Structure formats: C-alpha cells, structure tokens
Amino acid sequence: MTYKKIDLKTWERKEHFEGFMESGTSFSITTKLDVTLFYKRIKEKNLKFYPTFIHQVIQVVNEFDCFKIGFNGNQELVLWDHVEANYTINSKVSDNFISVWTPWHKEVSSFQELYLETLNQHETSKKMAPQVDMPLNLFVISMLPWISFDSFNLNINNNETFLAPIITAGKMIEQQDKKLLPVAIQVHHATSDGYHVALLVDKLQTQFNQF
C-alpha cells in the first residue's frame, strides 16, 4: 500500500478539490458498454464473467491518477500507487450482500482462482464485511444481475474521506445482436470531472473489445 502525498499548496486541482469537498459534491454517469466480444471471449477461455469484469475494471481504473486519490491512515491526502477493488458478492444464507476484496493479479485466470477462494471462504458469512484489516487503497465494484437500468445513483451521506469511485453494473441486455451492459460510475467531484469519467468509459470499452 504505497503512495505519494499530495501537496495541496502546489496541486493544480487545489481550488476544485477544496470547493467540491466543502460542498460534498459527487456525481454519477450511467452508460451501456458493448460486451458482445468480451462475453464471447470469456466463454471461450472458460472464465466467469463477474471476476473477469472486476479484473479488467481494476486494470483500467489504475491507469487514471484521479481515481487513485484517497486518504491514508493519518488522514493525509495521497495518490495511491495502485488501487484494489472492494466488490460485493451474494450471501448464501440471506438476501444480503457481502463486501470483500481480492488482491489483483496480472493474469486473469490467477485472479479468478483468488476470487473463487474469497467467494468460498466468505459467501456464508453473516457479516457485511467479514475480512479483517481491509486496505485503504480500495474503490468499489458491485453488480446487480437481476435488473437492467438507465440510471443508477447512490445517495451517500457525505463522508469527507471517501473519494473512491463506485462502479455498478446491471443486468446484461441483448439489442440488435449485441450484448449491452449498463454501468454506472459514481465519483467525487473533488478528484474528477465528467471529462475523466468519459475517458474511463472509452478505455473500458477498448479494454473489453481487446480482451
């Protein structure tokens, strides 16, 4: 969990950061990503969709500094060298979700093995977050495979230290021989703008196309 401290005095985003932190402004953009080829290749490689989706999203998010900004244990503003995904799984013993994380691995098959270990270990837990000592360099991924959506927003009682992106995918739909995946990306305006989310969306689409 390495990082670089951000010096607010010299940071080019100082005014934006301070203004949006004071107002507690976040925003959400929902789009539909074409996962036709992505889904096909996942099946060809005998992989599972959700862990592969998580793996690819982690890889793309880490290409953008604005999505790796957070606070360390001393409440210092930092740029993490790498961020991991805090993702949700479905409980086997209730209707609740469980919040977990799995260390990213460059090889998607290896990451899937780690994901399955995490799933098997915690899917019967009655705790919301059963893992102890979860790292601070996390962003959030969840999937709602039961429903598609055109808009999705989480109304968070502003937590001044929570700057991480929240990425939520919905039920895949088929449209004109294409598989489309609704994806909502919620960010804190203190660290990023619509422009940055647009770049993220474009890169995700490219990543899925080239998988």
Distances (CA, A) of 210 to 34, 38, 45: 12, 8, 14
Q: State the catalytic residue, choosing from 105, 188, 189, 196.
A: 189
Is a pLDDT exceeding 70 seen at residue 127? yes
Is a pLDDT exceeding 80 seen at residue 129? yes
Is a pLDDT exceeding 70 seen at residue 31? yes
The whole-chain average pLDDT of the chain stands at: 97
Coil vs helix vs strand at 105? coil
What contacts 24+ positions apart, CB below 8 Å, involve 5-11?
A: 5/76, 5/77, 5/78, 6/69, 6/77, 6/78, 6/79, 8/77
161 near 75, Cβ under 8 Å? yes
Q: What percent of the chain has pLDDT over 70?
A: 99
Q: What is the pLDDT of residue 161?
A: 83
pLDDT confidence of 93, banded at 50, 70, 90? very high
Coil vs helix vs strand at 141? strand
Sequence letter at residue 192: S
Domain extents in the chain? 3-209
Q: What percent of the chain has pLDDT over 90?
A: 95
Is a pLDDT exceeding 80 seen at residue 160? no
Is a pLDDT exceeding 70 seen at residue 204? yes
82 is catalytic: no
- What does the pLDDT average to over 163-173? 98
Is a pLDDT exceeding 70 seen at residue 181? yes
Q: What is the pLDDT of residue 30?
A: 98
Q: Which of 12-16, 85-89, 102-106, 155-159 has the lowest mean pLDDT?
A: 155-159
206 near 192, Cβ under 8 Å? no
pLDDT confidence of 159, banded at 50, 70, 90? low
- What does the pLDDT average to over 186-191? 97
Q: What is the pLDDT of residue 197?
A: 99
pLDDT confidence of 1, banded at 50, 70, 90? confident
Please state the CATH superfamily assignment of the domain spanning residues 3-209 in this structure. Chloramphenicol acetyltransferase-like domain (3.30.559.10)
pTM: 0.96
Q: Is 98 exposed, middle or buried (0-12, 13-18, 19+ CB in 10 A)?
A: buried
